[in-house]
């Protein structure tokens, strides 16, 4: 069906999925507008890398056949359209921070891009992100906001798309019958969605999670592809799903990650080892939300940027928000397609966006 994506809207399954996607999109705006948030349009073409990851699509009008080079061998971007190197955005977060420090509570909701060569059921090269940013919020407020948003959206979809979700529930139940008994999900789609509404998300620190994983049966029996041997390991999808689906059997919020595996803008804890980060993990999905309390202390932020080789000069506009009056603030990013994946019970992220963009695929 992905090869004829222009016709898949016409099937029962995909018309149901895209009606649910529409309802969830509306619910996002409804949630924030009811709470007095200001909707910000952040740029799609940008000169900065918010994550420092470097996996970005270049934007250029230069002809590769006649591109001029500098003496150093690099490309001379001064003759390009924007007269500098530019990319498609990976996040609207930095711009949302600028707005939050003036307007209070803001959110962005737009397309973001990652040039990762990831051929998985959870990754896209072009996807939509919701990124709220709130002045005066700390990590606890951030977790409360994210949990409220997710529950609000799930409830809205259940209320407004009951027939479609019932259809997708039956479809998933049929699919499960073809799997071996041990691989079948413990809950149906409707049951899983209601369970998320009825229970508080489990909250624990990264350090506590590492202990759980280290002592887990799959780790001891070497069933994990990536064994957890010591504190500081970057959690993989298999670890996240174990915590959610096997250990706690409910959504999990992990906090206070090692600073080495997180972005430069996260507020450093007093222990010198961890940062005020949070990830929300969902059954069948893994990470659905990633966020943090931001580092509002100028000297600490510059020190961290230098340690991580983030260009301080290039981001001087971002540092101005700390120079000219600042406050504690926090925000997160919610991958919209992962939310749609969870609510529809689909198993591949390419089936919840009309025209998926993945390595080697830019049809239509």
The pLDDT of residue 70 is 81
Interatomic CA distance for residues 305 and 284, integer angstroms? 35
Instruction: Report the DSSP beta bridge partners of residue 86.
Output: 59
Pairing of strands 45-46, 86-88: antiparallel
Interatomic CA distance for residues 242 and 247, integer angstroms? 6
Question: H-type helices in the chain, by residue range?
Answer: 5-8, 12-34, 93-103, 139-160, 162-177, 189-198, 206-214, 217-220, 237-241, 298-307, 316-323, 336-344
The CATH number, out of the four listed (2.40.50.180, 3.40.190.10, 3.40.630.10, 3.30.930.10), of the domain defined by the range 2-55+90-351: 3.30.930.10
Interatomic CA distance for residues 332 and 326, integer angstroms? 19
**DSSP H or E stretch at residue 88:** strand 86-88
Interatomic CA distance for residues 97 and 135, integer angstroms? 8
Q: What is the CA radius of gyration of the chain?
A: 21
The pLDDT of residue 302 is 95
Pairing of strands 252-258, 202-205: parallel
Interatomic CA distance for residues 315 and 323, integer angstroms? 13
| CB within 8 Å of 306: residues ≥ 6 apart | 312
CB 238 within 8 A of CB 222: no
Residue position matching structure tokens 């910000």: 40
Interatomic CA distance for residues 351 and 170, integer angstroms? 17
Q: Per residue of the chain (364 residues), give pLDDT as tens.
A: 888 888 999 999 999 999 999 999 999 999 999 999 999 999 999 987 666 556 899 999 999 888 888 877 788 899 999 999 999 999 999 999 999 999 999 999 999 999 988 888 888 999 999 999 999 999 999 999 999 999 999 999 999 999 999 999 999 999 888 888 777 777 899 999 999 999 999 999 999 999 999 999 999 999 999 999 999 999 998 999 899 989 999 999 999 999 999 999 999 999 999 999 999 999 888 899 999 999 999 999 999 999 998 888 888 999 999 999 899 999 999 999 999 999 999 999 999 999 999 999 888 8
CA 21, chain centre distance (Å): 17
Would you kindly state where each structural domain of the chain is located, as residue ranges? 2-55+90-351
Q: What angle do CA 95, 315, 307 make, to 5 degrees?
A: 120
The b-or-e profile of 243-255 (16+ CB within 10 A means b, else e) is bbbeebebbbbbb
């Amino acid at each position: 069906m992905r090869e004829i994506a222009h016709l898949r809207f016409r099937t029962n399954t995909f018309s149901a999925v895209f009606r649910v996607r529409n309802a969830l999109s509306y619910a996002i705006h409804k949630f924030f507008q009811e709470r007095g948030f200001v909707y910000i349009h952040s740029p799609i073409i940008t000169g900065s890398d918010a994550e420092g990851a470097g996996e970005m699509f270049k934007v250029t009008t230069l002809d590769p056949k006649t591109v001029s080079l500098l003496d150093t061998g690099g490309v001379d971007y001064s003759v390009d359209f924007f007269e500098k190197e530019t990319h498609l955005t990976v996040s609207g977060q930095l711009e949302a921070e600028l707005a939050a420090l003036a307007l209070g509570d803001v959110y962005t909701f737009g397309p973001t891009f990652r040039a990762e060569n990831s051929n998985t059921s959870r990754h896209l090269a072009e996807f939509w992100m919701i990124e709220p940013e709130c002045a005066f919020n700390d990590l606890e407020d951030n977790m409360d906001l994210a949990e409220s948003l997710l529950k609000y959206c799930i409830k809205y979809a259940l209320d407004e798309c009951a027939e479609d979700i019932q259809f997708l529930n039956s479809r998933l139940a049929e699919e499960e019958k073809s799997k071996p008994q041990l691989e079948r999900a413990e809950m149906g789609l409707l049951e899983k969605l209601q369970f998320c509404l009825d229970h508080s998300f489990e909250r624990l620190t990264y350090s506590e999670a590492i202990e759980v994983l280290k002592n887990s049966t799959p780790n001891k029996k070497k069933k994990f592809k990536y064994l957890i041997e010591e504190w500081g390991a970057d959690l993989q999808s298999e670890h996240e799903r174990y915590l959610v689906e096997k250990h706690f059997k409910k959504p999990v919020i992990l906090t206070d990650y090692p600073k080495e595996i997180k972005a430069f803008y996260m507020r450093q804890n007093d222990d010198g080892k961890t940062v005020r980060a949070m990830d929300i993990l969902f059954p069948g999905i893994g990470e659905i939300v990633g966020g943090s309390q931001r580092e509002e202390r100028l000297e600490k932020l510059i020190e961290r940027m230098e340690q991580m080789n983030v260009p301080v000069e290039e981001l001087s506009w971002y540092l101005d928000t700390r120079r000219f009056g600042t406050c504690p603030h926090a925000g997160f990013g919610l991958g919209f397609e992962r939310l749609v994946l969870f609510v529809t019970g689909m198993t591949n992220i390419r089936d919840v966006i009309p025209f998926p963009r993945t390595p080697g695929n830019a049809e239509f």
